[in-house]
Structure 1
Amino acid sequence: MQILLPCFLSLTAALWAGPLTATRLLRAASDAHDLIVILLDGFRWDYLDIHKRGGFPGFDKFLDDGVRAEYLNPTYPPNSFPNWHTIVTGLYPESHGIVGNFMYDEERNASFNLNHLETTSDPLWWQDSEPLWITTTKSGLDTALFLWSRCDVPWEGKILPKYCVPFEETPPNTQLFVKNLNQAVDMIQNEGYKLAMVYEEVIDTQGHAYGPTSPEVTVALRDTNVVVLSDHGMTDAGPKDKMRLDLAPCLDYAQVVKTTEHAGYINILPAKGYVEQVEESLKSCPDVSDNVEVVMKENMKERYHYKDHRLIHEIIVLPKPGFYIKSPETNYSLPEREGTSVGQHGFDHTLDQTPDMRGILFAWGPSFVSGHKSGVVEQVDVYGLLCRALQLSCHAYNGTMEHVEDFFDTGSSSGAPFSSHPSYLIYLFVGVASFIALAVGATRGLG
């Protein structure tokens, strides 16, 4: 596991936001320390190609005048909360401690449940690694966050960003995104904020409800206008696409303390003294054992970076391609039910097994090369990019600047002192996706 200190060089990036917000954004002149980070949830790496029929002038602007990664590779597991925290720490989940959308801490008998946000607010879940907004706050940079993870959880019991609206599930509503983005720009322009982070989940919502290639996703993209980065993609996971595997008949209630997650993997905490029995039951279970890989935590391959944390339980069950693991739906399962989603993520994306899990990274502005397609960028690389944009001395992280160096135009004025830059909007506009269970009409599917 390689950990590097970021290089602290000057970086500028400009934001083009399309017709909904372009006028205000272009008036929002600021210096190059200012940064807007936008996370658009569930934006798969090939959505623009799939949905070309929708027409997206904002994305066309990025592609024509900016730089894009071939794709953004999420951390494992490619789900929301783990990747959200990787973006703002540069660490793999096994290092930053948010190892899933659903977690169970046996020592505290505490559950972390994406579908019950009151369970995610306990500061003890979040103390393994300092997020970017705490680093900026400690450095004296006013920071605003809109619907971004648990920005309301105090660091070390007392430190909070100056402005925070924490994540909550909301119905599909692009107008809320526009409102939040405009407020973020106002705060940077008129109130001296240096970092604003805005989250939007319309893409992920429509992807879960209708699948990743539906017309509803096209409409959501058209309303969103601008995207820079996402944490994971989405794959078709309806009954016609992936065969369901039910682990409940394979498990003896008396031998299991808790199961967490579903779909792309299941993490199992056996009762004390029953690890081998549970492992053997899974490996010999009819109609299941031939279609899954049962792995002891210590034997997880290094490419996953998913074994060195106490909240990762002893047994991990991975479905083979074409299969989907149902939540056991018992009183020891987290989540408690499977849901009805036909679009899903969380599947093994290592070794290119599930390319649908890939996300995107775009950037546009005076510091970036124009019309350039870069190579593959890892999710753990994004943190260094953000720190460099802010000229901020951040903590050590698992990524590298090597994967994003060719984003920058070395012949531009980006290397000049910040005071020499002209007075125009200078932002890095970055977005991240997540894995969320949301209601569509009267039906709610687990993410």
Structure 2
Amino acid sequence: EPKKSKLPSDFSYASVNHSNRHIRLNSGVYLPRSHHISLFYIFCVPFFFFFVFVFQHRVLSDNKMALHFQMNLLLVLLGLVSGAAARDPIGQNLIVILADGYGATLLNNTKQDATFGIRHLATHGVQVDYVTPSFPTHTWPQWMSLSTGLYTENHGFTADYMWDRKTNFTFERGTGPNDTDDVWWNDAKAPLWYTAGKAGVDVHCYWFAHCHRAFYDMVVQVPEKRWANLDDAHQTDNLRDIFPEIANRISKYQVYKQQMFLIRYANIGNAQKEHGPESDEVEQEVAKFDLYINELQQLLEDRGLFSSTNLVVMSDHGYTPLQKEEQFFMEQCLPDFSLVKKIVNSHSMIMVFTNPEDEGTVHYEFSVCEVWSPMGDYDENDTPFVKTYRMSELPDDLHWKNSRFMSGVVLITKPGTSVVTKELPTVPHSGDPTIDAKQASGWEPTHDDMKGIFVARGPAFRENERFGPIEIVDVYQMLLNILSIEPAHPHNGTWGNVEHMLSEGWENRGPTENSSFRSSCTLLCFISVLLRFFF
């Protein structure tokens, strides 16, 4: 298990250096430090042509000699132009599209004609049976597990909603007034985009959570309209509109810098929560997304970019329908509401904060609550509607109980069962749209409906192969390997789970050999012609 590491004691997000020394990404014009051939062209070629001008006008007097000189100069120009035109990408590029809520169960139950794009992707690449998310299977914990390779108790974003007892601040999925406070971010681990950016990769984020936040000494410059906003159900409607921009940027800048695009698509998850399973709206959103994926592949194929670019389509988790007849209210179990200080989250997993001296009483009241106790013909092997835990009793395999901002009492419901509150102090508040959702997430990662998808193609992946399940924490290390970057910290991913999906040579991944070879040949040609002038 990776140990928690803290940022420097004098670090503060308010003091991030925004001077010219501050690393900024997304410029698309900076040359990589390692690209010495480009630097040679920039600094040496102008000097060479200045020398040519002086040499021709002051030294050459014989017409035959001048003609001979001009022919050699033409050879130099042709060598330089052909060398520049023949330059290959400096390394592999990466496009990651995260489809919120597109679970493996939903994909498997979708009609064939609405999965053509995904199947085309798998035919030319790889697909896994499913992706096991972290617990709780909420959105924010999955995003953090994907971007750090860590389980929830190690990355510290305990759930979609959190409460800090010391400050009385609440975290509300990135949309609350205190969600940018340092209390949530001080112990944050280096995310994927920071590690890639520090290695010289151009990073581009579209609606990807907290990608625009400054981390330590770097910030990805993301236009505000591309910041993730979970309150805007239509934010990602124009997904297909960004595809030409992606292709153009890769084509233009991949010879200078590797390009990474992190894109979130929210419409499938939003449709499930608002309209429920097997609704026309969900079916339409799935079909629309599949069409988009097919269009992006066609664009990359037409531009010849799949030789250098990898496309990953994955999801964070799936959704389960909420059963109306299995909805319970917490007030029905408590004789004294004052025992509870704060209720955090709803439906699948509920964190109950109390005063320390009241923890035992509250735990007992929920444990024996008759409202959700089994009745009638009940098999002792059946899953109870609600399980009540003390924090120390939570199963170790959830990798959760050692997380931050934990409550002393936790309720975990049976998949499909919902526990909410009307009168207790709660986040989200009782009028929040998530309370009335028709589907929800948050249950144990082993539940089939919670499992995600992973499909990918490109030069880093094998072709037309299907593999067994992976965990979401496994993906982080694989994405960095594609970019030839070492992980920034110890993580929970297992390399053996993803190694077999990659094409041969992953262990020696680096800039394309052809690119280096051509650049070297150009330099040798240039030097040889120079020698011919003088010897």
TM-score category of the 2 structures, normalised to the smaller one: 0.7 to 0.9
Change (3 A) 1:173 1:279: closer
Change (3 A) 1:135 1:115: closer
In the alignment, is the contact (CA less than 8 A) between 2:348 and 2:415 conserved in 1?
Answer: no
* Aligned residue number for residue 10 of structure 1: none
Which amino acid counterpart does residue 341 of structure 1 have in structure 2?
A
Q: Which moved more, 1:124-133 or 1:65-74?
A: 124-133
* Aligned residue number for residue 11 of structure 1: none
Structure 1 residue 179 displacement after superposition: 2.6
Question: How many residue pairs are counted as aligned between the two chains?
Answer: 390
1:179 pairs with one of 221, 226, 241 = 241
Which amino acid counterpart does residue 261 of structure 2 have in structure 1?
A
1:261 is the counterpart of 2:345: yes
Tell me the distance in 1 between the aligned counterparts of 2:435 and 2:510.
Answer: 53
Which amino acid counterpart does residue 198 of structure 1 have in structure 2?
I
Tell me the distance in 1 between the aligned counterparts of 2:284 and 2:416.
Answer: 28
In the alignment, is the contact (CA less than 8 A) between 2:2 and 2:490 conserved in 1?
Answer: no
1:307 is the counterpart of 2:427: no
In the alignment, is the contact (CA less than 8 A) between 1:137 and 1:162 conserved in 2?
Answer: no
1:122 is the counterpart of 2:181: yes
Summarize deviations over 1:168-194 as a string: whole Å, max 9, x none: 133346652123344344444435562
* Aligned residue number for residue 265 of structure 2: 200
* Partner secondary structure for residue 500 of structure 2: helix
Structure 1 residue 372 displacement after superposition: 1.1
Change (3 A) 1:369 1:140: closer
Change (3 A) 1:84 1:181: farther
Tell me the distance in 2 between the aligned counterparts of 1:117 and 1:183.
Answer: 31
Structure 1 residue 422 displacement after superposition: 8.5
| Residue segments in structure 1 that go unaligned for 5+ positions in a row | 4-28, 424-447
Change (3 A) 1:321 1:50: closer
1:142 is the counterpart of 2:215: no
| Residue segments in structure 2 that go unaligned for 5+ positions in a row | 4-87, 294-311, 375-384, 517-535
Which amino acid counterpart does residue 343 of structure 1 have in structure 2?
Q
Tell me the distance in 2 between the aligned counterparts of 1:204 and 1:249.
Answer: 31
Q: TM-score, normalised by structure 1?
A: 0.80
* Aligned residue number for residue 440 of structure 2: 344
* Aligned residue number for residue 86 of structure 1: 145
Change (3 A) 1:417 1:166: closer
Tell me the distance in 2 between the aligned counterparts of 1:46 and 1:281.
Answer: 36
* Aligned residue number for residue 379 of structure 1: 472
* Partner secondary structure for residue 218 of structure 2: coil
* Aligned residue number for residue 437 of structure 1: none
Change (3 A) 1:108 1:340: same
Structure 1 residue 289 displacement after superposition: 4.6
Which amino acid counterpart does residue 194 of structure 1 have in structure 2?
Q
Change (3 A) 1:409 1:391: closer
Change (3 A) 1:301 1:421: farther
Structure 1 residue 228 displacement after superposition: 1.6
* Partner secondary structure for residue 46 of structure 1: helix
Summarize deviations over 1:160-214 as a string: whole Å, max 9, x none: 1133532013334665212334434444443556222111101111111222332
Change (3 A) 1:413 1:81: closer
In the alignment, is the contact (CA less than 8 A) between 2:91 and 2:258 conserved in 1?
Answer: no
Tell me the distance in 2 between the aligned counterparts of 1:143 and 1:274.
Answer: 49
* Aligned residue number for residue 36 of structure 1: 95
Change (3 A) 1:198 1:324: same
Change (3 A) 1:149 1:329: farther
Tell me the distance in 2 between the aligned counterparts of 1:186 and 1:280.
Answer: 61
1:166 is the counterpart of 2:250: no
Counterparts of 1:363-378 in structure 2, within 5 Å, are 363-378=456-471
Structure 1 residue 66 displacement after superposition: 1.4
* Aligned residue number for residue 155 of structure 1: 215
Structure 1 residue 58 displacement after superposition: 1.3
Tell me the distance in 2 between the aligned counterparts of 1:331 and 1:285.
Answer: 17
Change (3 A) 1:219 1:277: same
In the alignment, is the contact (CA less than 8 A) between 2:314 and 2:454 conserved in 1?
Answer: yes
Change (3 A) 1:283 1:138: same
Change (3 A) 1:95 1:30: same
Change (3 A) 1:194 1:232: same
Structure 1 residue 54 displacement after superposition: 4.1
Structure 1 residue 376 displacement after superposition: 0.9
Change (3 A) 1:329 1:183: farther
Counterparts of 1:414-433 in structure 2, within 5 Å, are 418-420=511-513
Tell me the distance in 2 between the aligned counterparts of 1:416 and 1:133.
Answer: 19
* Partner secondary structure for residue 314 of structure 2: coil
* Aligned residue number for residue 359 of structure 2: 275
* Aligned residue number for residue 21 of structure 1: none
1:317 is the counterpart of 2:414: no
Summarize deviations over 1:67-117 as a string: whole Å, max 9, x none: 111100000001100100110000111111111110000112110013834
Tell me the distance in 2 between the aligned counterparts of 1:234 and 1:413.
Answer: 34
* Partner secondary structure for residue 195 of structure 1: strand
Report the structure number with the largest CA radius of gyration.
2
Structure 1 residue 367 displacement after superposition: 3.1
In the alignment, is the contact (CA less than 8 A) between 1:294 and 1:318 conserved in 2?
Answer: yes
Tell me the distance in 2 between the aligned counterparts of 1:422 and 1:68.
Answer: 30
The CA RMSD over aligned residues, in Å, is 2.5
Q: TM-score, normalised by structure 2?
A: 0.68
* Partner secondary structure for residue 293 of structure 1: strand
Summarize deviations over 1:13-67 as a string: whole Å, max 9, x none: xxxxxxxxxxxxxxxx844342222111111103333221543331121222211
Q: Percent identity?
A: 25
* Aligned residue number for residue 246 of structure 1: 329
Structure 1 residue 255 displacement after superposition: 1.3
Structure number with greater CO (CA < 8 Å, separation at least 6) is 1
Which structure carries more helix by proportion?
Answer: 2
Q: Which moved more, 1:82-91 or 1:382-391?
A: 382-391
In the alignment, is the contact (CA less than 8 A) between 2:91 and 2:510 conserved in 1?
Answer: no
Tell me the distance in 2 between the aligned counterparts of 1:289 and 1:269.
Answer: 22
* Aligned residue number for residue 211 of structure 1: 276
* Aligned residue number for residue 428 of structure 1: none
* Aligned residue number for residue 434 of structure 1: none
In the alignment, is the contact (CA less than 8 A) between 1:104 and 1:311 conserved in 2?
Answer: yes
